[in-house]
A = this chain, B = another copy of it.
Amino acid sequence: MYIENINSPADLKGLDIEALRVVCDETRAAIIKRVSRHGGHVGPNLGFVEATVALHYVFNAPTDKFVFDVSHQCYPHKILTGRASGFYGDDDQMNAVSGFTSPAESPLYDNFEIGHTSTSISLATGLQKARDIKGTKENIVVVIGDGSLSGGEAFEGFDEASELGTGIIIVVNDNEMSIAENHGGIYKNLRALRESKGQCGHNWFKALGFDYQYVEEGHDVEKLIAAFQSVKDTDKPTVVHVHTEKGHGFAPAVEDKEGWHWGNPFDPKDGSRPESPASESYEELFSNWMLEQMKTDPTIVAISAGVPIGAGFDAAKRELAGAQHVDVGIAEEQACAMASGMAKGGLRPVWSVHSTFIQRTYDQLAQDLCVNQNPAVVNVTLGGIGTMNDITHVCLFDIPMLCSIPGLIYMAPTTCEEYFAMLSWAVRQDRKPIAIRVPSNGVVHSDAEVDAEYSYEPSYKIAKKGSQVAVIAAGSFYQKGESVVRLLADKGIDATLVNPRYLHSVDAAVLDSLKAGHKLVVTLEDGCKDGGFGDRIASYYGDSDMKVLVGGIKKDFYDRFDQQQILADNRLLDGQIVEDVLRILSR
């Protein structure tokens, strides 16, 4: 084993090509060991093994600075920078290493915490400018995948790196794939560049002012080393376009590149995974529902931004939907503005986006969509504490963000039946943009009656009338509200339960009506409480005698957290809420 003895890239320098090839094999094996046991990004990492070994052989980190876009291809980098035990070690060692670059984990070798796409070049131009002002000479090396090129921030980064005009090396890792297949005009150019071995007429990178070279053999460490050596210490903005294979060296990941982009643990021998018990998912229910609508309504269009599977649109369903499914690549701004344009043009677009990624479109929601009041639907997925838990992927901030944008209706269904009733109304109405927060606490069914028609002004629904205490429990915390009300009943308190259904502003009539017979309102929301749903209710009641207990998650950084611990820390366990209610009532 070489990699056990590689504690830093310096330990690579004395090795010859044959030894480096062994290092590549061992690195690949270590990656497979980790992802097969721990889960994680498979294809992106397996495809960038040789290039990473070559980069660390040629450049001198930490003096030379690396920035990895999205950083889901950083596993080989971690293995070569003192963190190999996170790959071949035991569970604790694996848990100690995150799936993204992290200065907290490695202040020397990881320059930024990165998990969202297309940010690397922009960040690196800051290092470039700092170096130029300080007059030092280190190399700034960016690694960006072809899939990330569709994001506007990446273009802005290329544009500025060229403007600065000094040395920066941008390695374009072209594996001919985004998470799913690529979409966008730039991929026509990448294809032409691959097919011409970098020689085609109109080169997008050269057009922007970059020096450019092409490396066809992206898994040949010797050729990669030669290419990187030829650009090392350049004083020009430079692109090295490397052709790689996503999932290289692990047959299942090569055969099904989209399926193996990220995954749960598997059998490293054949890639098989234990059958998971069949269970409903909103992804599947949503995509099936959309396909049903499409059959009779040609104006229904599903939009995704690089993660179609996040809305259940796997390759087969994308084919079924045909022209009625649009994936714009990882380009959320485009998705949002295009949805507005489609709605203006008479279509009924539904754009599905994870809570953590809707952050990328504040201004498009505000300007392109809401100022224009075009009736597009935004299907916000994974919002809440029970979904993704890396610091860069936390899904807690969509409520404060969306609820501060004028003209946006934000609905929070509490059950499967209510979700599809709201969705059905949203695609039929033609006056306003509607966002719907898909429940994230599993598919909960209910035979309670749900409305077929909804309104633009919030209209809370009183699910159970009681007195003293009213629990207003939104979206995926509604069942928590039900549970709290049951526990309060055990304590002799007949609480009122309200399903607010709308998050974007308060239902003054219902709130006023609660003043009769209630002393305390408890709000529950599955997200950041600061500036969220409950704060606005507390504000509404501010000058009245009503007491308000706002239940939500404190604004803060959360990383690889335990959901129950977060709930407990924020006094959101059912029993804690009941305790707090009793404490307030007893005053």
Contacts and interface: CB of A to CB of B under 8 A. Distances in A.
B542 A133 contact: no
Contacts of A362: 359-360, 362-363, 401
Nearest to A339: B126
Contacts of A343: 126
A235 to B, nearest CB: 16
Contact of A346 (B134, B324, B407, B505): B134
Interface in A429-482: none
A372 B114 CA distance: 8
B406 A557 contact: yes
Interface string A305-341: 0000000000000000001101011010110011111
A201 B201 contact: yes
A424 B412 CA distance: 44
Contacts of A103: 372
Interface residues of A, number: 120
A550 B531 CA distance: 13
A367 B122 contact: no
B150 A531 contact: no
Stoichiometry (number of copies):
2
Interface stretch (A81-89, A206-214, A281-289, A510-518): A206-214
Interface string A519-538: 01000000011111011101
B129 A326 contact: yes
A9 interface: no
A488 interface: no
Contacts of A541: 538, 542
Interface stretch (A33-41, A182-190, A254-262, A263-271): A182-190
Nearest to A520: B543
Given A130-B347, A338-B125, A155 B157 contact: no
Contact of A133 (B298, B534, B535): B298
B372 A126 contact: no
A237 interface: yes
Interface string A339-361: 11111111101000000000110
Interface in A68-124: 103, 111-116, 118-119, 122-124
Contacts of A569: none
A153 B301 contact: no
Interface string A124-157: 1111111111100000000000000011111111
A155 B528 CA distance: 32
A160 interface: yes
A368 B119 contact: yes
Contacts of A344: 111-112, 123, 126-127, 130
A561 interface: no
A158 interface: yes
A59 interface: no
A342 B133 CA distance: 10
A293 interface: no
A397 interface: yes
A372 B328 contact: no
A364 interface: yes
A203 interface: yes
A153 B150 CA distance: 10
Given A189-B207, A334-B156, A372 B113 contact: yes
Contacts of A364: 119, 122, 153
A209 B362 CA distance: 29
Contact of A153 (B152, B345, B403): B152
A234 interface: no
A115 B188 contact: no
Contacts of A407: 557
B404 A397 contact: yes
A292 interface: no
A24 to B, nearest CB: 30
Contacts of A346: 130, 134
Contact of A207 (B150, B207, B543, B549): B207
B528 A539 contact: no
A64 interface: no
Contact of A535 (B185, B329, B367, B539): B539
A161 interface: yes
Nearest to A184: B159
A582 interface: no
B161 A119 contact: no
24 contacts: A119-B364, A125-B334, A125-B337, A126-B349, A127-B341, A129-B338, A129-B342, A130-B341, A133-B323, A134-B346, A152-B333, A159-B328, A186-B207, A204-B204, A204-B207, A362-B362, A400-B404, A404-B530, A404-B532, A530-B536, A539-B550, A542-B550, A543-B548, A543-B584
Given A113-B371, A401-B401, A542-B549, 19 more contacts: A113-B372, A114-B367, A116-B367, A122-B334, A126-B342, A129-B301, A159-B184, A160-B331, A161-B185, A162-B188, A188-B209, A204-B204, A359-B366, A360-B363, A397-B404, A520-B543, A529-B539, A538-B542, A543-B547
